[in-house]
Amino acid sequence: MTIFHISCLFFLLSPVVHGYAVSDIRSWCSQTPNPEPCEHVLAEKPNYGSMKHKHDFINALLKVTLHQAEDAETNTRGFGPKCHNNHEKTAWSDCLQLYEYTVQRINMTVDPHKKCSQVEMQTWLSTALTNLETCKVGFQELGVGDYLLPLMNNNVSSLISNTLAMNKGRKSSNYEPRYQNGFPTWVNRGDRKLLQSSSPASQANAVVAQDGSGGYKTIGAAVAAAKSGGGRYVIYVKAGTYNENVQIKSSNIMLVGDGIGKTIITGSKSVGGGSTSFGSATMGVDGDRFIGRDFTVKNTAGPQNEQAVALRSSSDLSVFYQCSFEGYQDTLYVLSNRQFYKSCNIYGTVDFIFGNAAVVLQNCNIYARDPPNKTNTITAQGRTDPNQNTGISIHNSRVSAASSLNGVKTYLGRPWKQYSRTVFLKTYLDGIVNPAGWLPWSGNFALNTLYYGEYMNTGPGSSTANRVNWKGYHVITSATEAAKFTPGSFIAGGSWLPGTGVPWTSGL
């Protein structure tokens, strides 16, 4: 508290702080959710120009937030030697990666060489805040002391929340893309030819085959050899079972298999086995504009090993088409950014579609498996800030029982975080769905601040007559309201999905 007292005294004594009028700083910061750290950091940092207008203040706030995030990343890097055991080292290692990604995303909002739209800024700031929350969750999952977290964070979360709040009302500068032959004009001719092909594997840059008939025997080796930058880099993975944990950090990668159940990527890391949820993923995709087609990803840790992720994705503008994700608790981790899943299968038990991306699952099959505690929850959405543009939208899909499910009632979701947001639109809900529909997380936590919605669902589990009566639950009757969660609106699909070559429906 001493720092803030000194800062307040400094304001009283000085009419100008590093070129800013004190009245401007106070006036703008008072409009944010966290005015005190806002005033403090702007008083301590050098001049970023005038703050007479809202966009000036947002720019100043972005730059000072970036500086604080860079300091936090440096602090985090220095804490490695202070870890006392393997669990602390595991949680710290995740945090270091997540802070690096946070700096990258904030950097993208201030890049002088690329104009950043309001939607892009809100997306990348939402991701930055999610990364910091994910770091904290890792310490909690492994039951280790979180004494390092305040030193790592250094007001970054509060500053990101402030910028999200100020940017939310800013006029969008999104544009309607021009199209040529059904593709946005930014998609080059080579990519168009590739994405229009019914067999993109035939144009692969790298081939993976266990029998030695390709250039690589493991997916990891092919990914490591991928050239970053430039056009699409296609990796074709022939049929077979690949027992490896795959991490994809380069952008513009396309991974193509021989089909669900034919090309299988499998692993067994879990929180019960000493990993974090973040680190347990059989396949982790962090590079932007990823396209995945025709393969299966499994986590075989089993229902007793707690969180065990099959796929984790934070890839912005990413698509998964005709893929299967198979696990138990926490199967599909839609961590952050804008994602689209088309004609995919997802198998699991507890919270098996979770995270804080802006994601739409369209024409997917969702299969509930038999859980160890006799309670299934399909979703656990993780929005921590009311201004994050995130949520899970399940559209024109099907919820039913896997062959292993023995009469266990299944809930559509529960609120993992304060502003959890999930909708089911025009989806078939089998009789396995509990009449209440949704399950509390703990007592009354988030029941007034969440947003859960259902619109024109069908099937024996779709009746809303006995659903929960929470303030945040909505039976959506307006097509206009429901349309906000379709690919065209929720993830601005018209500006990027045509460039993936994957079939999709924009509206309801």
Q: Is 448 exposed, middle or buried (0-12, 13-18, 19+ CB in 10 A)?
A: exposed
Could you tell me where the DSSP H helices lie in 243-385?
none
Summary count for the chain: helices (H), strands (E): 12, 30
- Count the Cβ atoms, other than its own, within 10 Å of residue 185: 11
Task: Kindly name the residue from 24, 294, 330, 351 that is annotated as catalytic.
Answer: 351
Beta strands in 330-375 (DSSP E): 332-334, 338-342, 345-348, 350-355, 358-362, 365-368
Q: At what angle do helices 156-168 and 35-44 cross, to 10 degrees?
A: 100
Closest CA to 80 of 70, 71, 72, 89: 89
**360 DSSP 8-state letter:** E
Instruction: Look at phi and psi of residue 384 and say left if phi exceeds 0, alpha if psi is from -120 to 50, else beta.
Output: alpha
Is 351 an active-site residue?
A: yes
Neighbouring CB atoms inside 10 A of 506's CB total: 13
Any residues with CB less than 8 A from the CB of 350 and at least 6 apart, and which?
Answer: 328, 329, 330, 371, 373, 375, 376, 377
The label of the residue with tokens 């529909």 reads 437
Say which residues have a Cβ less than 8 Å from residue 367's Cβ, sequence separation at least 6.
345, 346, 347, 348, 400, 401, 402
The Cα 446–Cα 470 span in angstroms is: 10
DSSP state letters, 208-228: E-TTS-SSBSSHHHHHHHPPP
Overall size of the chain counted in residues: 508
Locate 94 and state its tokens.
Answer: 């995740």
- The closest alpha carbon to 474, from 498, 495, 448, belongs to 448
Residues assigned a catalytic role: 351
